[in-house]
Amino acid sequence: MDKSNVLFLNFLDVIFFIVCVTFKILVYGKHLETGHMKFVSLFIPTIASVMIIVSISLFFNTGARSRMLYIFNIVISSFIVSDIIYFRYFKDIISLPVLANGFQLGAVKSSVSSLMNIKDFLYFFDIAFIVPFINRYVRQYGSNVFPDYKLPVVMLLLLFGVVLDFKSFYGLSREQPRLLSTMYNKVYITRKLGVLNYHCLDIYNSVSANITKLVPDSEKKIDEINTFIDNNKSDGKSLKGSAEGKNLIMIQVEALQEFVMGASVNGQEITPNLNRWARRSEYFNNFYYQVAAGGTSDAEFMTNNSLYPASAGSAYFLYSGNRFHAMPENFKKKGYSTAAFHAFRENFWNRNIMYKKFGFDTFYGEKSYRGNEIIGMGLSDRSFLNQSLIKLDSMKSPYYAFLITLTSHFPYDQVNKYGNFDVGSLNGTFLGNYLKAIHYTDQQLGMFLDSLDERGTLKNSVVVLYGDHYAVPKDRGNQLLKFLNINSTSDVNWEKLQKVPLLVHFPDESVKGVNNTYGGEMDVYPTVCNLFNLPEKDMLGKDLFNPINQRVIFRNGSFIDKNYYYSSGDNVYYSMKTGKKAAENDRLRKEKENVLDQLGYSDYILKHNVMDKLKK
Ligand code: GP9
Ligand code: MN
């Protein structure tokens, strides 16, 4: 075979691949129209992933090399074009679990062809009209990579790609620690790491989750879980069936932390409306959020399933193929109609798929609302709650309605849209901004609850309202401790602040008062089952009106109760009374093991998808 005299022509296929595929990925990045798209930052991970492919291809002889690059070009371009079409409709990137479930559930409502654009096919132009010629040329005149130094050259290129790529992944994992395992913001990952890295990460996460599912489940383990579930039920009958046949309106409030309840800033109540409604409700003041990496979605997952969140990643993505016995399905068996309301992208946190799995008849997402007032991430709580009132009116009773608010979402920087709540010396601080945001949301919730009251809806409805998770991250903790006049920065004091309010409002306010029972999001579903007389079969939480214990378990194995806080990270117990460290004793050690068992049961149920094999 003749060799070309010009070196670069020997590697025309390689050079073309590097230039063209990098260009395609960068242009695609621009399609994601996320505002401040930076080419430079996308360039590094993109070129890194391209170099990895190229270095592997250089191992082979010219024919195989050009064919391999050709196939990769086709695969990458197909990913890009399908992603673009998907993005047009969902404003998100395709992922394997979504593909596996979404299409089968009819999630793609609009036909693919109507979303296609003739320009999309430009991504295939080179594949059809250029690469075949280049490949023919290279097969004739091209040469293998420097035969004498093949291994070192290839290894060097590979190392270059891997190190550069690793740097980008590492940087992102530092910037947003839970992002890579949960993939909750796929657009962001793609923007930061490039489409190639994104899809590799997606495949890795899905495959590793599926491998654990393949291990067969054991009868023994299922018996053990069933025994636990049996012993976990209380004999108490307090308020049993007291809400039978009534509606349930459950409101999950974004970043509503408990410390704002009853508190004032600059001489004014922060949450005057929630304070007023708390007085008219059963108010749980020792109620903790128990979310892990799945944030908001973990809170929803727990309150509707009484299962713990995934130990890593998000249950909404990892277990979207599972069978659940969720609250909506349970209500539906009693003839209820059910709907979820959240005016944000339907597929964010995989909600469109999970809500169907849970048995919601309807999901009113972003597309079901008029986008007439945007604050921060999306539709304002004011508009969301106003439009939801109308939707609620049209629901067939009895119903279960689950609403999730959005405006008071981190980083609380839309201060001039929250109204003019003056937080005095806290103006311009992170905490001050949060107080403004939550004051705004409190106003909208007040309007919503008052309207339900005026319409007479509350006469035949129970309202459950709680916060999803913390508002103030630990690295801003000092501002909060100062605001609350807490001098000690000890772990137990911080932990005591990780509460969210829980209000249960009964028709005619037949039950109200402050309830000190220790509980958390895991306990909402069993509590609802008791009130509405729903079968309570396979839940890991407890009924808060008939508590069998006073313990709250966190995903990382820490737990808190009236007397002790156990911090799993450093394996230390604290006395709740004195705040001082406490020595481990037999009872505590047993408790610690028991906690890990319970988390393990939840993991087992999810990983092996055995909900239907548990207690009937
Ligand atoms: C968006 C919202 C945010 O739909 O639920 O989730 P978070 O970031 O709080 O987990
Ligand atoms: Mn949230």
Burial of 353 from C-beta contacts in 10 A (0-12 / 13-18 / 19+): buried
Measured in degrees and rounded to the nearest 5, phi and psi for residue 118 equal -60, -30
The domain tally of the chain equals: 2
As a whole number, mean pLDDT of residues 287-315 equals: 92
Nearest listed ligand to the Cα of residue 342: 1
Say which residues have a Cβ less than 8 Å from residue 446's Cβ, sequence separation at least 6.
272, 273, 274, 276, 277
Which of 501, 521, 541 is the C-terminal boundary of a domain?
521
Residue 110's pLDDT is: 44
Q: How far is the CA of 296 from the centre of ligand 1 (A)?
A: 5
Are 23 and 167 contained in the same domain? yes
Report which bound ligand comes closest to the CA of 257.
Answer: 2
When pLDDT is cut at 50, 70 and 90, the band that residue 135 belongs to is: very high
- Ligand 1 binding pocket mutation candidate from 342, 349, 500 (most atoms within 8 A of CB): 349
Do 197 and 271 sit in the same domain of this protein?
Answer: no
What are residue 572's DSSP bridge partners? 567
Same domain, 121 and 242: no
Q: Band of the pLDDT at 105, cuts 50, 70, 90? A: very low
Query: Where does a domain end: 521, 537, 566?
Result: 521
- What's the sign of the alpha-carbon dihedral 545, 551, 554, 557? negative
pLDDT at 379 over 90: yes
Contact 215, 206 (CB under 8 A): no
Q: What is the pLDDT of residue 359?
A: 97
Q: Does residue 380 form part of some domain? A: yes
Q: Residues lining ligand 2 (ion), CB within 5 A? A: 254, 296, 468
Euclidean distance between CA atoms 59 and 151, whole angstroms:
8
Q: Of 153, 177, 212, which closes a domain?
A: 212
**Quick one: average pLDDT of 230-254?**
94
- What does the pLDDT average to over 556-569? 91
- Residue 569 pLDDT: 73
- The two three-digit tokens of residue 196, written as one number: 């190639």
Q: Is residue 613 part of a domain?
A: no
Q: How confident is the model at residue 476 (pLDDT cuts 50, 70, 90)?
A: confident
Q: 419 and 372: one domain?
A: yes
Let me know whether 176 and 255 are in one domain: no
295 CA to centre of ligand 1 in angstroms = 7
Q: Are residues 170 and 238 in the same domain?
A: no
Residue keyed to tokens 């339907």: 346
- Confidence (pLDDT) at 472: 92
User: Quick one: what percent of the chain has pLDDT higher than 90?
Assistant: 69
Cα angle, residue 573 at apex, residues 568 and 576 outer, rounded to 5°: 120
Q: What's the 409 CA to ligand 2 centre distance in angstroms?
A: 7
Out of 189-193, 387-391, 429-433, pick the least confident: 189-193
The verdict on 191 and 241 lying in the same domain is no
- Mapping DSSP onto H, E and C, the string for 104-132 reads CCCCCCCCHHHHCCHHHHHHHHHHHHCHH
Classify residue 151 as exposed, middle or buried by CB count within 10 Å of its CB (0-12, 13-18, 19+).
exposed
Give me the pLDDT at residue 89, please. Answer: 62
Nearest atom within ligand 1 for CA of residue 344:
4
Ligand nearest to the CA of 349: 1
Looking at residue 97, its pLDDT comes to 67
Same domain, yes or no: 329 and 476: yes
What tens digit of pLDDT does each residue of 486-525 get?
Answer: 998 888 999 999 999 999 999 999 999 999 999 999 999 9
Per-residue model confidence (pLDDT) at position 454 = 98
Among the listed ranges 97-101, 298-302, 318-322, 461-465, which one has the minimum average pLDDT value?
97-101
Range 454-481 average pLDDT? 94
Closest atom of ligand 1 relative to the 291 alpha carbon: 10
324-350 pLDDT tens trace: 999 999 999 999 999 999 999 998 899
296 CA: nearest ligand 1 atom: 10
The answer to whether the CB of 522 falls within 8 A of the CB of 308 is: yes
Mean of the per-residue pLDDT values of the chain = 90
Atom of ligand 1 nearest to the CA of 468: 9
Query: Distance between CA atoms of 260 and 500, rounded to whole angstroms?
Result: 9
Mean pLDDT of 239-257: 98
The angle formed by the CA atoms of residues 429, 430 and 432, to the nearest 5 degrees, is 60
Q: Which residues pair with 440 in a beta bridge?
A: none
517: enclosing H helix or E strand = strand 513-520
Q: Which helix (H) or strand (E) holds 559?
A: strand 559-561
Is the domain of 185 the same as that of 237? no
Identify which has the larger pLDDT, 451 or 121.
451
Q: Which residue of 296, 348, 472 sits with most ligand 1 atoms within 8 Å of its CB, as the best mutation to test the pocket?
A: 296
Over range 347-366, report the average pLDDT. Answer: 95
What pLDDT does residue 149 have?
A: 82
Calculate mean pLDDT across residues 581-601: 93
Ligand nearest to the CA of 378: 1
Residues 154 and 10 in one domain: yes
Residues with CB under 6 A from ligand 1: 295-296, 344, 348, 406, 409
CA of 405 to the centre of ligand 1 (A): 9
Whether residue 103 has pLDDT greater than 50: no
**Nearest CA owner, ligand 1 atom 6:** 296
Confidence of residue 247 (pLDDT cuts 50, 70, 90): very high
Record the tokens describing residue 219, joined without a space: 């009868």
Mean pLDDT of 351-357: 95
Contact 519, 287 (CB under 8 A): yes
- In the predicted model, is pLDDT for residue 600 greater than 60? yes
Q: Which domain holds residue 493?
A: 233-521
Give the ligand 1 atom nearest the CA of 295: 10
Question: For residue 4, what pLDDT is reported?
Answer: 52
- pLDDT at residue 322 above 60? yes
Quote the ligand 1 centre to 391 CA distance (angstroms): 22
Q: What is the pLDDT of residue 102?
A: 47
Is the preceding peptide bond at 411 cis, omega within 30 degrees of 0? yes
Rg (CA), the chain: 27
Buried/exposed code over 389-421 (b: 16+ C-beta within 10 A; e: otherwise) = eebbeebeebbbbbbbbbbbbbebebbeebeeb
Residue 526's pLDDT is what? 96
Which tens digit of pLDDT belongs to each residue from 386-415? 999 999 999 999 999 999 999 999 999 999
Residue type, 610: V
- Confirm whether 217 is domain-assigned: no
Report residue 318 as tokens.
């990892």
Residue 215 has pLDDT above 60, yes or no: yes
Inside any domain, residue 282:
yes
Q: Is the pLDDT of residue 178 over 80?
A: no
Top-ranked range on mean pLDDT: pick from 126-140, 246-260, 481-495: 246-260
Pair 207, 280 in one domain: no
The C-alpha torsion from 586 through 591 and 592 to 596, rounded to 10°, is: 140
pLDDT at 148: 78
Structure tokens at 274: 């929630």
Of all atoms in ligand 1, which is nearest to the CA of residue 255? 9
481 lies in some domain: yes
Domain contains 540: no
401 and 439 share a domain?
yes
Residues 6+ apart with CB under 8 A from 247: 397, 398, 399, 400, 401, 457, 460, 461, 462
* Average of per-residue pLDDT across 360-372: 97
431: in domain? yes
CA 178 – CA 317 distance, rounded (Å): 13
The model's confidence at residue 34, banded by pLDDT at 50, 70 and 90, is low
Virtual torsion, Cα 550, 554, 560, 565, nearest 10 deg:
160
- Tell me: the pLDDT tens digits for 106-120? 433 445 666 788 889
Question: How far does the centroid of ligand 1 lie from the alpha carbon of residue 254, in Å?
Answer: 8
User: From ligand 2's centre to the CA of 518, what distance in Å?
Assistant: 22
Alpha-carbon distance of 612 to 610, in angstroms, equals 5
Q: Which ligand is nearest to the CA of 256?
A: 2
Report the DSSP pairing between strands 559-561 and 551-553.
Answer: antiparallel
Residue 448 clears pLDDT 70, i.e. is over it? yes
For residues 433 and 421, give the distance between their C-alpha atoms in angstroms, rounded to a whole number.
10
Categorize the per-residue pLDDT at 352 as very low, low, confident or very high, splitting at 50, 70 and 90: very high
**357 occurs within a structural domain:** yes
Residue 183's pLDDT is what?
A: 74
Backbone angle region of 35, left / alpha / beta, with phi > 0 → left and psi within -120 to 50 → alpha: left
Give the CA distances from residue 492 to residues 488, 520, 522, 576, 581, in Å, rounded to whole numbers and listed in that order. Answer: 9, 17, 21, 7, 9
Residue 145 burial (10 A CB sphere; 0-12, 13-18, 19+): buried
Tell me if 417 sits within 8 A of 356, measured CB to CB.
no
Instruction: Provide the pLDDT for residue 1.
Output: 44
Mean pLDDT of 40-59: 91
Ligand 1 nearest-atom number relative to CA 298? 10
Which residues are within 8 A (CB) of 322 and not within 5 positions of it... i.e. 6 or more apart?
357, 606, 609, 611
- The closest alpha carbon to 477, from 455, 501, 458, 496, belongs to 496
The mean pLDDT value for 551-563 works out to: 94
Rounded CA separation 207/30 (Å): 29
Q: Measure 218 CA to ligand 2 centroid, in angstroms.
A: 36
**Do residues 508 and 460 touch, judged by C-beta distance below 8 A?**
no
pLDDT at 91 over 90: no
List the alpha helices (DSSP H) in 32-149.
Answer: 39-57, 62-90, 96-102, 112-115, 125-129, 131-141
Q: How far is CA 297 from CA 207, 335, 474, 521, 600, in A?
A: 22, 26, 20, 12, 20
Q: With H, G, I as helix, E, B as strand and everything else as coil, classify residue 513.
A: strand
- CATH number of the domain enclosing 392: 3.40.720.10
Q: Using a pLDDT cut of 70, give the percent of the chain over it.
A: 93
Instruction: Report how far apart, in Å, the C-alpha atoms of 348 and of each of 271, 375, 377, 579, 594 are.
Output: 28, 17, 12, 40, 34
Alpha-carbon span 253 to 405, nearest angstrom: 5
